[in-house]
Amino acid sequence: MIVRAHTDLVLAVSGWEAGRDLGILVGAVFWLASAFWVFKDARRRIESPWLIAVATLFGLAIPLLGPIIYMFFRPPEYLDDVRERDLEIRAIEERLRQRSLECPVCRGAIEASYVVCPICTTRLKQACAGCGAPLEAIWQACPYCATPVPSLGSYGEGVAGGLEPLRPRRQATSD
Ligand SMILES: [Zn+2]
Ligand SMILES: [Zn+2]
């Protein structure tokens, strides 16, 4: 009788111990898993390896509560999303910048290297007499072939002339 009671007690105690061990094991696994989750999540949101390490240690140091606190303070966006958005913004800016180049007469799309508008043949820039490169209005000499630009100023007079080849300006204008 005594032996049996003793056996029951041993079984009960060992059962309780097994349950307690299992609880500790589950808790430990959950603790490590949550710290690992913090590490994985921080890596996707934080660029600095030091801050990722700090966040992970924080998740490890304060079991279960650490990861929850981390969730309150983590950066709201994934790095991938931030980069993607930056790329999109840059692409939009680039598109706007290109769109801003348009023919002053017909509003057709032009490029910085155009000498005349291909749509309405408006002369947009003077072409270099030496190499034919498009010249900015204020340039005194061609930066590509060093040919001096013959006359300063109103290349706009050539606008009416449309596609005519570049001649010295005094001759090109009909006085
Ligand atoms: Zn045009
Ligand atoms: Zn030139």
pLDDT of res. 154: 47
CA of 114 to the centre of ligand 1 (A): 11
Q: For residues 125 and 101, is the Cβ–Cβ distance under 8 A?
A: no
| Closest-approaching ligand to the CA atom of 149 | 2
Q: What is the tens place of the pLDDT at every residue in 8-52?
A: 877 778 888 888 899 999 999 999 999 999 999 999 999 999 999
For the chain, give the mean pLDDT.
83
Residue 129, amino acid: A
What's the CA angle centered on 122, arms 121 and 123, to 5 degrees? 110
| Closest-approaching ligand to the CA atom of 126 | 2
CA of 141 to the centre of ligand 2 (A): 8
CA of 86 to the centre of ligand 2 (A): 38
Structure tokens at 11: 């079984």
Residue 158, pLDDT above cutoff 50: no
Q: What is the tens place of the pLDDT at every residue in 83-118?
A: 999 999 999 988 887 667 888 899 888 888 899 999
CB atoms within 10 A of CB 82: 14
Residue in 106, 143, 140 with CA at minimum distance from that of residue 123: 106
User: For 120-134, what is the mean pLDDT?
Assistant: 90
pTM for this predicted structure? 0.50
- Domain boundaries, given as residue ranges, for the chain: 2-79, 102-175
